């Protein structure tokens, strides 16, 4: 993960509610975002027509671009299109791949960017990071934090439950990431940003304690706010540290060794639970295991189709995905045999 530009500039607008997409014109009327109304709207291929129909009444003069998203080439192609005429702002509407492409393209030209999330798969909706595939390998690119973050609950409500459940796993993985950050402070003297840690922690704690599920607007609102707070935490400290530790090292290792296994959030939650077990934090382990089970998220390797040997290989490989990080995985420095024994104990503990 490249060092991010440290920024304490919070988004000018945060809206989590139904009907937000249709109200984009009023939100963009804020002169700090768009003084002249020349806006480029970026949508994904799946939502394009529906989104255009909703925004036209309030953004009649906007130019609409469709991007396949997901790759650095697609983001660069979009950036080239944004040079066709001067725009005041870029609005990215869709899932993570569309929003990340829009964030990257807007940052290329220093344009304000509004993130409009139609799903809650991970904390990328408000983060200063764009996850894009380049030459078959997913990389993380530092970008400007969005000037506004909008979550339209109407779109979230009609999206696949599995996609949105991933956001729950990503949100609670902050608990493990913060424990790793504190470990790095104790062992290596790494500085910990208190404000960033607080932002990352409060959303995770809220999800652990919040009743309800993805069919409950109150729960979905808390989830959206937790993911937004996680993105802000990264912007505050200029690093993904408050939201990425051993949990994400395991996720990246699985992505590298066994691509397509599961989503970002599903693997982050699984990795966080395993790292929490390695730490011996029984209270946190029980809280996180119960939360993942309640929301039907994976807790053991078999839940994502991995054998024990494959998971052991991924955990052993994980520290190489973030050589600059010090987490519980680097601290224990386990051999494959040691990881295998820990995994057996872990699976038994989960099933208890």
Position 36 pLDDT exceeds 70: no
CB 201 within 8 A of CB 174: yes
Predicted confidence (pLDDT) at residue 46 exceeds the cutoff of 70: yes
Q: How far apart are CA 291 and CA 210, in angstroms?
A: 9
Out of 106-110, 168-172, 178-182, 272-276, least confident range: 106-110
Single pTM value for the model:
0.90
| pLDDT > 80? residue 337 | yes
Question: CA of 337: how far to CAs of 202, 270, 306, in Å?
Answer: 36, 20, 17
Q: Which tens digit of pLDDT belongs to each residue from 74-118? A: 999 999 999 888 898 899 998 888 999 999 999 999 998 999 998
Least reliable range by pLDDT among 52-61, 148-157, 170-179, 202-211: 52-61
Q: What is the pLDDT of residue 5?
A: 45
Mean pLDDT of 213-218: 94
Among residues of the chain, what percentage have pLDDT more than 90? 65
- H-state helical runs in the chain: 24-28, 48-55, 72-81, 96-108, 153-158, 161-188, 194-209, 217-237, 246-257, 264-279, 282-294, 308-317, 328-332, 336-351
Residues 236/196, Cβ–Cβ less than 8 Å: yes
Distance CA 183, CA 152 (A): 37
In the prediction, which pLDDT does 133 show? 83
**In which element (H, E) is residue 13 found?**
strand 13-17
- Sequence-separated (6 or more) residues with CB below 8 Å from residue 143: 103, 104, 106, 107, 128, 129, 130
Both tokens of residue 262?
């599961």
Q: What pLDDT is recorded for position 31?
A: 62
Mean pLDDT of the chain, nearest integer = 90
Q: How far apart are CA 239 and CA 324, in angstroms?
A: 12
Contact assessment for residue 204 and residue 273, using Cβ atoms and an 8 Å cutoff? no
Q: Can you tell me the distance from the alpha carbon of 85 to that of 92, in angstroms, rounded to the nearest whole number?
A: 18
């Amino acid at each position: 993960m490249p060092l991010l530009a440290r920024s304490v500039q919070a988004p000018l607008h945060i809206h989590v509610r139904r009907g937000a997409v249709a109200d984009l014109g009023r939100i963009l009327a804020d002169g700090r975002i768009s003084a002249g109304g020349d806006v480029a709207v970026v949508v994904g291929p799946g939502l394009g027509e529906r989104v255009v129909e909703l925004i036209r009444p309030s953004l009649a003069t906007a130019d609409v671009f469709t991007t396949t998203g997901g790759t650095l080439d697609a983001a660069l192609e979009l950036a080239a299109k944004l040079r066709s005429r001067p725009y005041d702002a870029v609005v990215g509407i869709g899932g993570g791949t569309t929003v990340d492409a829009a964030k990257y393209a807007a940052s290329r030209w220093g344009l304000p960017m509004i993130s409009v999330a139609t799903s809650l798969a991970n904390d990328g909706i408000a983060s200063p990071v764009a996850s894009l595939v380049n030459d078959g390998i997913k990389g993380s690119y530092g970008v400007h934090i969005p000037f506004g973050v909008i979550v339209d609950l109407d779109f979230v409500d009609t999206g696949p439950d599995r996609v949105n459940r991933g956001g729950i796993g990503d949100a609670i993985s902050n608990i493990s990431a913060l424990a790793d950050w504190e470990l790095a402070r104790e062992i290596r003297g790494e500085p910990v940003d208190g404000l960033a840690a607080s932002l990352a922690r409060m959303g995770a704690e809220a999800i652990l304690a919040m009743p309800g599920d993805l069919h409950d607007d109150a729960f979905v609102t808390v989830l959206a706010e937790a993911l937004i707070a996680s993105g802000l935490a990264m912007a505050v400290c200029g690093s993904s540290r408050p939201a990425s530790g051993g949990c994400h090292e395991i996720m990246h290792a699985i992505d590298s060794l066994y691509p397509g296994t599961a989503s970002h959030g599903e693997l982050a939650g699984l990795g966080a639970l395993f790292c929490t077990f390695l730490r011996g934090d029984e209270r946190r382990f029980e809280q996180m295991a119960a939360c993942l089970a309640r929301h039907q998220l994976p807790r053991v390797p078999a839940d994502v189709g991995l054998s024990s040997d494959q998971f052991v290989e991924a955990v052993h490989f994980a520290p190489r995905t973030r050589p600059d990080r010090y987490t519980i995985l680097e601290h224990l420095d386990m051999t494959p045999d040691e990881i295998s024994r820990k995994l057996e104990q872990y699976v038994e503990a989960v099933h208890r």
